[in-house]
Structure 1
Amino acid sequence: MKIFKKIMFLSFAICAMVLASCSSNDSDDEETPESQEEFIKFTYNGTVYNFEPGVMSSLNMNIMGSTGIDNTYKKISLWTPLNVTKGSHDIVYDLSNMETTYQASFSFMPAIKNANAKSGKINITAVDDKIIEGTFTFTGTSGEQTFTVTEGSFRVLR
């Protein structure tokens, strides 16, 4: 009977260890909450584009997204001051004042190559030590072609 009890105890202990090792609390198994997903999306010529954003900082902050290469290259960049603030901000192309102005640039090859927006708005709806998010719209010209970007929105982690 002692052997039977030992076998039962060992069987129970092994089952408990196997079940414990099968459950996981790793955050890698969980999806990123929607409130922390990063994106930059916009509409151009009736088509919605959604890029994975990147953020670079120096004298200002560049929130950008791109796809493609050569003649299929598409890029959008939003430039903000490092001390970005909530609210609606006019897009002003002013290279002499990059530390305080809100700017945008756009490439949509082959027709539009790194053109700067001439007018528009960037509306910062949330900003804290973890995220920046907002909406935008702008227009500009590249050579003889006028472009308009509408229904833009973004969320990036700092």
Structure 2
Amino acid sequence: MTSISMTVNGKPASGEVEGRTLLVQFLREDLRLTGTHVGCDTSQCGACVVHVNGEAVKACTMFAADADGADVRTIEGMANADGSLGTIQQAFQDHHGLQCGFCTPGMVMSAAALLKDNPKPTEAEIREYLEGNICRCTGYHNIIKAIQAASGQLTAVAAE
């Protein structure tokens, strides 16, 4: 067992993990942050995307011990300080960018990483960036609209 500590959503977190423990397991099982989903266990679906030191990472591909000392942000850390939905989360709700909700945490985290690097992405850039995230319900149209809205590019007329 290895002792690890990190900052998760702005708060200190620590625990004992086996060397094979994945970051997604540590977040869900030890810290009880169950918003990060496990969809495929093979890094194909993107449901487990979190930010580690500001970079989008599929938490099913990273050992928890490799995040020792890191700053980790999960979907639970995307809300505003008062608990209300953050900008991207609100855009997903407003533009129906979710259906079953299973992929939504990973989509929101990926969208946040995209908008950090490219504040005004084109539709083609959004589609390309989301290639590592699978949604089996929405057909992506409303997810793209939500990201455009979160970036300030979707006007009220276009949102209808």
Q: Same fold (TM over 0.5)?
A: no
Instruction: Name the larger-Rg structure.
Output: 1
Please, what TM-score do these two structures have when normalized by structure 1? 0.22
Which has the larger share of helix?
2
User: Which is richer in strand?
Assistant: 1
Q: With the length of structure 2 as denominator, give the TM-score of the two structures.
A: 0.22
